[in-house]
Amino acid sequence: MEAIQIQNLTKSFKAIQAVRGIDLSIRQGEIFSLLGPNGAGKSTTISMVSGLLTPDSGDALIFGRSIRKETIQAQMQVGVVPQEIAIYADLSARQNLMFWGRMAGLSGKLLSRRVDEVLELVELTDRQRGDSGKFSGGMKRRLNIAIALLHQPALIILDEPTVGIDPQSRRKILDSVKVLRDQGTTILYTTHYMEEAQELSDRIAIMDEGRIIACGTQAELVQRVGEQDHIVLKVAEAKESDLAQMAKSLNGSILTLKDEQTIEVLAHKGREVLPVLFTACNQTGVKVTAVEIQEANLEMVFLQLTGKALRD
Ligand SMILES: Nc1ncnc2c1ncn2[C@@H]1O[C@H](COP(=O)(O)OP(=O)(O)OP(=O)(O)O)[C@@H](O)[C@H]1O
Ligand SMILES: [Mg+2]
C-alpha cells in the first residue's frame, strides 16, 4: 500500500486553477519532494492531502484511507508542518509541546517522554524553557516540526520548512528529516530549493502551474531530458594529440583538455561512456588517476521542461 495515493486532485480559486488534476503516489518509507516555484500549487496540494481544504474533484488516500470520506482516520496518520508557523508565543517550547501533545491525545509519562524525544530530534532541548515568541525564525520552525511529530505519525508533510531561516536551523531541519526517514517515517517535503530536493529526496515530482510536469528519482529526471553528463578525468599527463586520438572512439562526446592533468568530457549517458573512455585512455597511453561524474541538475531539467528558471 502507498503512503499517499493522489488521484486527479483539482482545485480552483475563482479564475485561478491552482491544482489541475494531479496524480501521484508516495511510497512508504521514502522522502518524496514536491519541487516547484512560487505559485506552482504545492501548498494547495498539501492542504487538500491533509484534509484542510476540500478539492473540487479527486481524492487522496492516506495509507488507504480517503481524506474526503474517512477524514479523521486519514488525518490521524499524518503530521503536518504548514508553511505558516502556529505556536503560542507566550508559552515555552516545552509548554507548547505539552499543550499540543494533550490535543493529540497524549498524557502522563508517554507525553513527557515524547516531548523529550522530539525536543532532542529538532535540537531544542537546551532551549525548552523561556518564551518561544523570542525564538529565531528557524527555532520557531523547528518547534513547529516537533509539534507535528508528537503523536509519532507514520507520515510527515513539511511545506517549505526552510524558507527564510538561518543556515544552522536549515541544516538541523534537513538532518532531522533524514533521521525520521531512517526511523521508517514517510516524508512529503515541498520546496522551491533544488539543492534541498537533490540532497533529501528518494523521489521528486516537479510541479509548475498546477501540474506535475515530471516525476522520478533525480537520476531519472535528469536522464529523461537527455541532459549531458559532465565527466572530469584526472590524468598523469595528456596532450591535445592524445585527445584527438581518443575522440575517434568516443562518437557524440565532447572532449576538452583543461590542463595537462585534467580532461573534461561532455557525454550522453556518461556512465555508459566510462568504460569506452577508459579503454581510449589506455590505448592512447594516458594514465587515469581519478574520475568524477558531475551529473546535470534539476535546475537544468526544470529549464528544459518549462523554458524558465526555477527561481523566478
Ligand atoms: N486561498 C486562496 N485564495 C485564492 N487564491 C489562492 C489561494 N490559495 C492559493 N491561491 C493561488 O493558487 C496558486 C497556487 O498557490 P500555492 O500557495 O498552492 O502555491 P505554492 O506552490 O505553495 O507557492 P509558494 O512556493 O509561494 O508557497 C497561486 O496562484 C495562489 O495565488
Ligand atoms: Mg506554498
Q: What is the pLDDT of residue 306?
A: 78
pLDDT, tens digit (0-9, with 9 covering 90-100), for 108-158: 999 999 999 999 999 999 999 989 999 999 999 999 999 999 999 999 999
88 in contact with ligand 1, CB cutoff 6 A: no
Least confident of 63-67, 75-79, 148-152, 223-227: 223-227
pLDDT-based confidence at residue 266 (cuts at 50, 70, 90): confident
Q: Which residue CA neighbors atom 29 of ligand 1 most closely?
A: 39
Q: Which atom of ligand 1 is least distant from the CA of 41?
A: 18
Q: Which residue CA neighbors atom 3 of ligand 1 most closely?
A: 13
Full 3-state SS string of the chain: CCCEEEEEEEEEECCEEEEEEEEEEECCCCEEEEECCCCCCHHHHHHHHCCCCCCCEEEEEECCEECCCCHHHHHCCEEEECCCCCCCCCCEHHHHHHHHHHHCCCCHHHHHHHHHHHHHHCCCHHHCCCEHHHCCHHHHHHHHHHHHHCCCCCEEEEECCCCCCCHHHHHHHHHHHHHHHHCCCEEEEEECCHHHHHHHCCEEEEEECCEEEEEECHHHHHHHCCCEEEEEEEECCCCHHHHHHHHCCCCCCEEEEEECCEEEEEEECHHHHHHHHHHHHHHHCCCEEEEEEECCCHHHHHHHHHCCCCCC
Q: What is the pLDDT of residue 130?
A: 87
Q: Which atom of ligand 1 is least distant from the CA of 14?
A: 4
13 in contact with ligand 1, CB cutoff 6 A: yes
Q: What is the pLDDT of residue 226?
A: 64
Mean pLDDT of the chain, nearest integer = 91
pLDDT-based confidence at residue 258 (cuts at 50, 70, 90): confident
82 in contact with ligand 1, CB cutoff 6 A: no
pLDDT, tens digit (0-9, with 9 covering 90-100), for 58-73: 999 999 999 999 999 9
List the domains of the chain with CATH numbers. Answer: 4-223 (3.40.50.300), 228-294 (3.30.70.1560)
**pTM, rounded to two decimals:** 0.80
Residue 224: pLDDT over 80: no
